[in-house]
Chains A and B, each alone.
Chain A
Amino acid sequence: MPLSDFQTVIGLEVHAQLLTQSKIFCGCSTAFGAEPNHHTCPVCLGMPGVLPVLNQRVVEYAVRTGLALGCTVKPTSVWSRKNYFYPDLPKGYQITQYDQPICEWGELVIDTPSGEKTVRVRRIHLEEDAGKSVHDASASGGQSLVDLNRAGVPLMEIVSEPDLRDADEAVEYLKVLRDVLVYLGVNDGNLEEGSFRCDANVSVMPKGSTTYGQRCELKNLNSFRFLKQAIEYEAARQVDVLESGGKVDQETRLWDVNKGITRSMRSKEDAHDYRYFPEPDLQPLIVSDALRDAQAKSLPELPRAKRTRFMGQYGLPAYDARILTAERPLADFFEACAAHVSDAKKLSNWFLGELSRLLKEEGTPLSALRFTPAQLGELLATVEKGTVSANAAKDVLGEMFRTGRAPADIIAEKGLAQVSDVGAVEAVVDDILAKNAGEVEKYKAGKKSVYGFFVGQVMKAMKGKGNPGLVNELLKKKLGD
């Protein structure tokens, strides 16, 4: 059977770092990029005698996420210890949730080429991150150093059912999930710094089969591109194995970025026995009705709902609505501006075009924008009235972006206002036509292509400030059309 006769089956396990100021079981900072072992204390160093104290904010964030994904939030969940030895695991165990996680059974809707698809979320659980080993293979013989700044950073693991059927669906799921978490304010969505990362469980089965094939786990895929590449490579590899009469071994595999292949990390035989048992230093985690209700009340409108509303309320095409709603600050700013303009589609064009270009080029975050929604509305109204040309308006926006000054001031100072005075324009038109009598003859003889030449000459004479509508109107009148 060729590759096309197989169906890929994918489930994702996403690790999202929660956006708390302090760690999950102590008061140490979670800030990224500090000196090694700077953000540590006896608790996260696993010193003798220390005990964990739960950061309540972590619970709020998990409940918030669970509610947003339509999960059942369990009134009682249980902390467990996952025991294994590793130099960057200070206590020799990780505190995590095992058989009784905080949230279960939700779903996430994604778009696929064949329409909407609902992906089931099996569970959301909380855990602490481990530290980081730094291996120095230098001439001194090589040393391994341990940085425990990350140890105890709160993580939320979101586990999907194996409902995804190809790499593109997996990427779409990951993007939609990322947008939701960022919207909720619980995660920064930063794949590069590892605060949003993903493992993929991949298997293949003959098309039409209802029995899943043996799966392999692909570890630590830290970009959308790697996720797609790794799944596609792995599915093809598994098909090859089956085609050549072999069988797929259950194992954990790594994506080799340089070679573009997955390779075995450990087999089922070397799989760890984690000796899970309930964490005796922590009471079961109780989520009160009050906490849950407070989170439910403060849930924001999520990207998908917002997109639908933007299409209805502002009459925007789906493409525009999706881009505008992908990030909450952009959507919020769009809505603030929309309150000041009559034509939301024109506003959207400015957002998708000039504004996003400026944001990208200047590297400015939306939160640092200098101009106000009212000022942008004013600029658009000026264009509408013909006071400035669309081109000039781009310059004005650029200036507003950099300085936050009012559009009227910029237009006045730069002399960008269009000349709409009939007398003034008529004088120029008359002058141009008089100077180019030969061309006028040709035009009148039927060579209509000369028209553009007249417009160009008038605009040039007026330094681009002639009101294009008025110029056209007068030219045509004088030329006898």
Chain B
Amino acid sequence: MSSTLTDLSMLELAAKLATREVSSVEATRASLQRITQVDPKVRAFLRVDEAGALKAAEASDARRQSGSPASALDGVPVGLKDIFLTQGVETTCGSRILEGFVPPYDATVVRLLKEAGLPLLGKLNMDEFAMGSSNESSAYFPTHNPWDLTRTPGGSSGGSAAAVAAREVFGALGTDTGGSIRQPAAFTNTVGLKPTYGRVSRYGVIAFASSLDQPGPMARTVADTAALLQLIARHDPLDSTSADVATPDCLTGLEDGVRGLKLGVPREYFTAGMDPEVEGTLRASLDEFERMGATLVDVSLPHTKYALATYYLLASSEASSNLARYDGIRYGQRAKDARGLKELYTQTRGQGFGAEVKRRIMLGTYALSAGYYDAYYLRAQKVRTLIREDFTRAFQQVDALVSPTSPVPAFKLGDKVDDPLSMYLMDVYTLPCNLAGLPGLSVPCGFTQAGLPVGLQILGRPFDEARLLRIARAFEREHDFFRRAVPV
């Protein structure tokens, strides 16, 4: 079993905090020490808030001492993707344009974590404005995959995934617009859940594509993921797209297994271009589900082939509008020597945004332009409806869908930076779920011969997170992949 504190899962640590065998300050110090030790190699953190985390840990210990913990995870230190606004702590969203921006308020999910007593260790690296699948479009530096430092941890929540995998944090929050929680989870042997659209508040989460973005938990185990979800899944009156549904109970029934469940295998998700090792691992996982008592059903999602184009049109359109506020007028970076308003805009944005962000702003601006709107944006919205209907039909037959999370395991840093289209293909299995607003989860399902993690994706009906977690847990129980020691 685990030899050091930082190897514990969140719930294991919480149990020790509850019995006061360990204090939150000790756990937080252990995390900080681990960060000092491995982060120079992994580079998951944009900034560490040592003082803030220790102060929260002390407060947590005081609550434990007085017998009134704020939540089941009170005192368990976690990290935040730098897309979440943190009052008083610089938040850049991985961009130069927000360098030096210190938010005056907390994102709703950050507030919820604080209220639940979790020390927040700092802000984790990400692709700029969450646009990317490898963390290489962060304006600061790329994060390295703890399983192989020459490889990417995935994106855009790659910093969160890497920090969780490298035992720097016990869990983290990420956001998923087209797979940005699930793909990095698959690349790093961690669990990542993209909740149903509207399940978790987007208030205070820097917007990339409003109709697709969804914050979610990332952790080492399914149970941790469930516990973290329960802290953040709340109706939020500050987010008009937040669903007014009760917080799910994902822990009760987590161990109920998959016997009797019908799992759909979408044939369009097993296509050419998939890495043979990934496919082999997936096939083996499907056999295991059958052995555990689930029934596999061949299903078709016929509009899948349009999902990638649809996604990039809609996400870029929304992004082009959402990123208009970064104009150098009110906060963040402003071009120094601009003369006149137009120069101020063009220079600020020209200097502040990276290549990938500019590419998508251009694409979205074009797609929304008069004369092109009908051919691109409107058409994409119609296809989105068809994709959603594909899922609705499939879920009339089956309880959940299982597929690979990513067609390939973690690729080398630098491999795809100059080929945006091949980078976009990394999201091909994850983004249909965002277009449909459904919950999706990635759970570790094995390793390649080179020791790279492979992820299994489970997709479900709206607000059916508890079932996804239960299916994932059934699989996880057979393997305990999370116990495998990370080489870094």
Within 8 A of A (CB), among B235-274: 237-241
A91 close to B325 (CB less than 8 A): yes
In the complex, B324 has a CB within 8 A of chain A:
yes
In the complex, A46 has a CB within 8 A of chain B:
yes
B321 close to A275 (CB less than 8 A): yes
A42 partner residues in chain B, CB cutoff 8 A = 104-105
A283 partner residues in chain B, CB cutoff 8 A = 240-241
In the complex, A49 has a CB within 8 A of chain B:
yes
| Minimum Cβ distance to chain A for residue B463 (Å) | 17
B205 partner residues in chain A, CB cutoff 8 A = 49
A81 close to B321 (CB less than 8 A): yes
Within 8 A of B (CB), among A72-103: 81, 83, 85, 87, 90-93
Closest residue of chain B to A88, judged by CB? B329
Interface size class, chain A? 20 to 34
Taking chain B's interface residues, is the majority helix, strand, or loop, or is none over half, making it mixed? loop
For the complex, what is the distance from the CA of A281 to the CA of B242, rounded to whole Å?
Answer: 10
Point out the residue from B206, B209, B331, B345 that lies within 8 Å of A85, measured CB to CB. Answer: B345
In the complex, B285 has a CB within 8 A of chain A:
no
Closest residue of chain A to B318, judged by CB? A280
A47 close to B237 (CB less than 8 A): no
Indicate the member of A48, A50, A53, A276 with the most B CB atoms within 10 Å. A48
Point out the residue from B103, B241, B317 that lies within 8 Å of A47, measured CB to CB. Answer: B103
In the complex, B429 has a CB within 8 A of chain A:
no
For the complex, what is the distance from the CA of A47 to the CA of B369, rounded to whole Å?
Answer: 25
A93 partner residues in chain B, CB cutoff 8 A = 321, 324
Point out the residue from B204, B207, B240, B327 that lies within 8 Å of A282, measured CB to CB. Answer: B240
The answer to whether A48 and B240 touch (CB under 8 A), given A87-B341, A146-B329, A277-B368, is: no
A48 close to B91 (CB less than 8 A): yes
The answer to whether A47 and B104 touch (CB under 8 A), given A280-B318, A281-B240, is: yes
In the complex, A51 has a CB within 8 A of chain B:
yes
Point out the residue from A51, A275, A277, A280 that lies within 8 Å of B238, measured CB to CB. Answer: A51
A281 partner residues in chain B, CB cutoff 8 A = 207, 210, 240-241
The answer to whether A91 and B324 touch (CB under 8 A), given A51-B239, A277-B373, A283-B241, is: yes
| Minimum Cβ distance to chain A for residue B331 (Å) | 7
| Minimum Cβ distance to chain B for residue A22 (Å) | 14
Interface size class, chain B? 35 or more
Point out the residue from B101, B325, B369 that lies within 8 Å of A46, measured CB to CB. Answer: B325
B240 close to A52 (CB less than 8 A): yes
| Minimum Cβ distance to chain A for residue B87 (Å) | 11
Within 8 A of B (CB), among A267-315: 273, 275-277, 280-283
Closest residue of chain B to A93, judged by CB? B321
For the complex, what is the distance from the CA of A276 to the CA of B371, rounded to whole Å?
Answer: 12
| Minimum Cβ distance to chain A for residue B480 (Å) | 37
A273 partner residues in chain B, CB cutoff 8 A = 369-370
B211 partner residues in chain A, CB cutoff 8 A = 280
Closest residue of chain B to A54, judged by CB? B240
| Minimum Cβ distance to chain A for residue B339 (Å) | 11
B324 close to A49 (CB less than 8 A): no
B98 close to A48 (CB less than 8 A): yes
A276 partner residues in chain B, CB cutoff 8 A = 368, 373
Closest residue of chain A to B236, judged by CB? A51
Closest residue of chain A to B242, judged by CB? A51
In the complex, B365 has a CB within 8 A of chain A:
yes
The answer to whether A92 and B101 touch (CB under 8 A), given A48-B91, A273-B369, A275-B369, is: no
In the complex, B202 has a CB within 8 A of chain A:
yes
For the complex, what is the distance from the CA of A52 to the CA of B317, rounded to whole Å?
Answer: 19
Question: 6 A–B contact pairs at CB < 8 A?
Answer: A50-B203, A51-B203, A273-B369, A275-B320, A275-B370, A277-B321
Q: Knowing that A275-B368, A281-B241 are A-B contacts, what are 6 other residue pairs whose CB atoms are under 8 Å apart, sorted by A's residue number?
A: A51-B239, A53-B239, A81-B321, A92-B324, A273-B369, A277-B318
